[in-house]
Structure 1
Amino acid sequence: MYKIRIILDTKKDVIRTILVDNHLNLEDLHLTIAKSFGFKGQEMASFYRTDEEWTQGEEIPLFNMEEVGVGISMKTCLLAQTLPVTNDKLIYVYDFLKMWTFYVDVVEISNEKTTGLPKIILTVGEIPDEAPEKEFVAEKLDDGFTDEDDNDEEFGDFDEFDYNEY
């Protein structure tokens, strides 16, 4: 049995702690998380592998996205293989139009057999009516070029070139 804490990325605390079976795949976990926050589970979603600092890594999509063959998907990833130890983490994004973002953290893993799983054992806060706005800012990379390099010394200033001459 896994005890998993899911935290919605909002200013106010919105948390669910759930118990799920060890043999669950990530597609079933996706549906359990979505329903525990009041969603129907019908929107596109992905899990992302992450490290201790919640740095987003490899995507685990809801469906196989490979053109040929079998690629990684929620259905092919078992919980016990994806999150094998306590404190393993995933980022979960539900509904790519609204970008509901959740932090998924394994609190406890046990061999205890419990009936009636999945089960919500803790509910804190209510989900807001609208998803929090996400701002994605890319890191500014130094590409070695500056605005001063816009004029090519060999050919002159292209801004002054009269294209109608030819």
Structure 2
Amino acid sequence: MIYKFRAILDAEEDVFRDIAIQDDATLEDLHNAIVNAFGFDGMEIASFYTCDDLWNQEDEIPMFDTGDVMGEQKVMSDYSLNELLNEDQTKIIYVYDFINMWTFLVELAAVEEPEAGATYPDLLFSHGELPAAAPEKEFEAENDDFYSEFEDDLDEDDLDMFGGDDSFEDYGFEENWN
């Protein structure tokens, strides 16, 4: 079967690409198709994130194993598309380049029979120009009380570990230690 995805840049302007790819292709194959469809050089790290129907980010699926024990963490090449996505679970988030945070909402739009003579992955449709820089992201707390757990009765004097004289004498610090 062929999965047809729409990858939408998370931005104010409409910028998206429609991509057809085999259902047994890996997330790494989809990553490569998205990189090519949007004209990236493919030299940056990326991850997919599972999400719910409201695009709330859940589990990360990275390009490379970054776990403490090599081989313990599953990566993009370990997942086939039909393992994660189907007619009930259609959404996944893709982030390319963790410095610039190009963020894409990727949704499975259709599952169809392959077309005779077609090669996959295939860029089906392109809309909008990729901006010169990644759109700014506003990160928000899940609730309005995010900072309340950090607030207490401390003031600037409480944060001064030297008692105001910037002296290290009480800590056994010798100025000419070497």
TM-score normalized by the length of structure 2: 0.78
Q: CA RMSD in A?
A: 2.5
The amino acid across from 1:126 in the alignment is E
Aligned-partner SS, 1:48: strand
Alignment pair present for 1:108 and 2:110: yes
Alignment pair present for 1:143 and 2:146: no
TM-score normalized by the length of structure 1: 0.83
Q: CA–CA distance in 2 between the matches of 1:14 and 1:100?
A: 12
- Which residue of the partner structure matches residue 2 of structure 1? 3
Aligned length: 158
Give yes or no for contact 1:99–1:131 (8 Å, CA) kept in 2.
Answer: yes
Structure 1, unaligned runs of 5 or more = 152-156
| Shift in CA distance, 21/142, structure 1 to aligned 2, threshold 3 Å | same
- In the TM superposition, what whole-angstrom CA distance separates every residue of 1:2-28 from its partner, at most 9, and x where no partner exists? 010110011110011110011110011
Deviation at 1:60, TM superposition (A): 0.5
Q: CA–CA distance in 2 between the matches of 1:40 and 1:144?
A: 41
- In the TM superposition, what whole-angstrom CA distance separates every residue of 1:108-127 from its partner, at most 9, and x where no partner exists? 113x1233111111111110
Q: CA–CA distance in 2 between the matches of 1:65 and 1:119?
A: 30
Once superposed, which parts of structure 1, at least 4 consecutive aligned residues long, lie more than 4 Å away?
Answer: 161-166
Alignment pair present for 1:131 and 2:134: yes
Aligned-partner SS, 1:30: helix
Of 79, 82, 88, 1:80 maps to 82
Give yes or no for contact 1:5–1:15 (8 Å, CA) kept in 2.
Answer: yes
- In the TM superposition, what whole-angstrom CA distance separates every residue of 1:65-105 from its partner, at most 9, and x where no partner exists? 12214212101011000112256101100011111000000
Q: CA–CA distance in 2 between the matches of 1:88 and 1:141?
A: 34
Give yes or no for contact 1:87–1:107 (8 Å, CA) kept in 2.
Answer: no
The amino acid across from 2:123 in the alignment is I
Structure 2, unaligned runs of 5 or more = 171-178
